[in-house]
Amino acid sequence: MANDLFRRQLASYASVHRDWRNKATHFVGIPVIVFSLLLLLSLWRFELGDREWTVSLAVAIVAVLGWIALDLGIGILMGALMAPAWYAADALAGALGSPSATWTAFTVLFVGGWVLQFLGHHYEGKRPALLDNIFQGFIGPMFLVAETMVVMGYRRDLADAMGEGDVTVR
C-alpha cells in the first residue's frame, strides 16, 4: 500500500529516530505541534459553497489527502486521528474567545512541542530530520502511526523500511 517515496522518506526519518527516548518525546511533541497549528488556523474562516470553513479544516483535509496518497492505510488512520483533533482545536479556539488568547495558547503548545522534539534529539544525538528536508515535517505524524502499527504487529513492509523488527533471513 505504501509507495516507494513514502518508504524512502520513512527510512530517512527513522534513521534519526532510533532512540526510544526520542521516539517517546515525538509521540507527545508531534501531536501537540499539529494540534497547535490546527488551533491557530481555526482563527481564519472563509466561505465556500454556502458554508463557512475554517482554514484549519481545509489544511487538515489537504494533509490527510496527501497522507492517503503516500500510504492508503496510514492515511486513513491519520484522517481518523485528525478529525477529532480538528474538532477539538476548533472548539478550543471558540472557548478561548479571542484571537490573542488563541495566539497565546498556540505559542505555548507550539514551543512546548518543539522543546520536546529537541529534547528527544538531544538523546538521539542527531539533529531533527526537518532541518535537512522540509518534507520530513509531513512524514513525522505518519511515522508515529506507522511505528504504532509495526509495534502492534502490522505492516511488515513498514518495519522493513524503518529498519525495525528482527533480521531473520527469509
48 touching another protein, by CB under 8 A: no
Q: Copy the grid coordinates of residue 166.
A: 528482527
130 touching another protein, by CB under 8 A: no
- Kindly determine how many residues on this chain lie close enough to bind another protein according to the rule CB under 8 A: 23
162 touching another protein, by CB under 8 A: yes
Pick 23 or 126: Cβ nearer another protein: 126
Q: Which long-range contacts (CB under 8 A, 24 or more apart) does 89-92 make?
A: 89/35, 89/38, 89/39, 89/41, 89/42, 89/56, 90/38, 90/42, 90/54, 90/56, 90/57, 92/39, 92/42
With CA atoms as reference, report the closest residue to 6 among 133, 126, 128, 142.
Answer: 142
Pick 51 or 170: Cβ nearer another protein: 170
3 touching another protein, by CB under 8 A: no
Task: Select from 28, 126, 130, 148 the one that contacts another protein (CB under 8 A).
Answer: 126
With CA atoms as reference, report the closest residue to 120 among 3, 51, 17, 41.
Answer: 17
153 touching another protein, by CB under 8 A: no
Pick 23 or 87: Cβ nearer another protein: 23
Residue that the C-alpha cell 505524524 belongs to: 141
Pick 32 or 129: Cβ nearer another protein: 129
Name the residues that contact another protein, by CB under 8 A. Answer: 4, 7-9, 11-12, 14-16, 18, 126, 129, 132-133, 160-165, 167, 169-170
